[in-house]
Structure 1
């Protein structure tokens, strides 16, 4: 003789067929009413989730929590209850606090790593700025050298005319100094 399903575990649907009772009603061995408050959250195939929630909160507390909430708040509350109870079942000592603690530890590690990276970025920026400054200084020095003229040319055009080589020096004479053609100055010419 085959085993028949218990009547308390069957529901009559609107089209005349039968459906299985929700996990909460199945656990309590009662008929699942069409307006069962826990049926949307604990269908018949989520028995383990219901047992975890029942063990942590209890059916009466769960129904009290979600009874007077708005539909969106009910969804969020039940997601939270199911999550907390599943986590507590997998980690009976720490539960959700273990997850929170691990996430806080990861945040602290990431903050320290971010500070280190920002410090390294600041060092790299300072080095790049220094190299740019040194390059600018080198370019300015180079431009000054290229754009500057020899000393006697740089003194002005009227002074340039005062520096001349005497015309009266002849072939075998060596000139060791330039002479000024200024009448106020006594010029000397060293001849070997």
Structure 2
């Protein structure tokens, strides 16, 4: 602590207290467990968003007329490209949640409600 500049010491103490509280709740993973859980949640939500966008795109493509001006064809080609190239990346994402305990998902984590 003494090696840190004075203006950074309060943040350092706060971080140490936060990690200590995290270790009380999860002695093995501490803050890393909470971070992994949140990253997994973000990945799941990104996948859900990609699926919803793909569904919207499919519905839009079903309602578009057969004969289109060149600009609309280019837009459709771009949408088709996204559907076939971007969506699979979201659907095949790797899960980094192996280190997360199920109890971490349910309980109140370090003063923040985590709802799974």
Q: Which has the higher strand share?
A: 1
Q: Which has the higher helix share?
A: 2
TM-score by length of structure 2 reads: 0.50
TM-score by length of structure 1 reads: 0.32
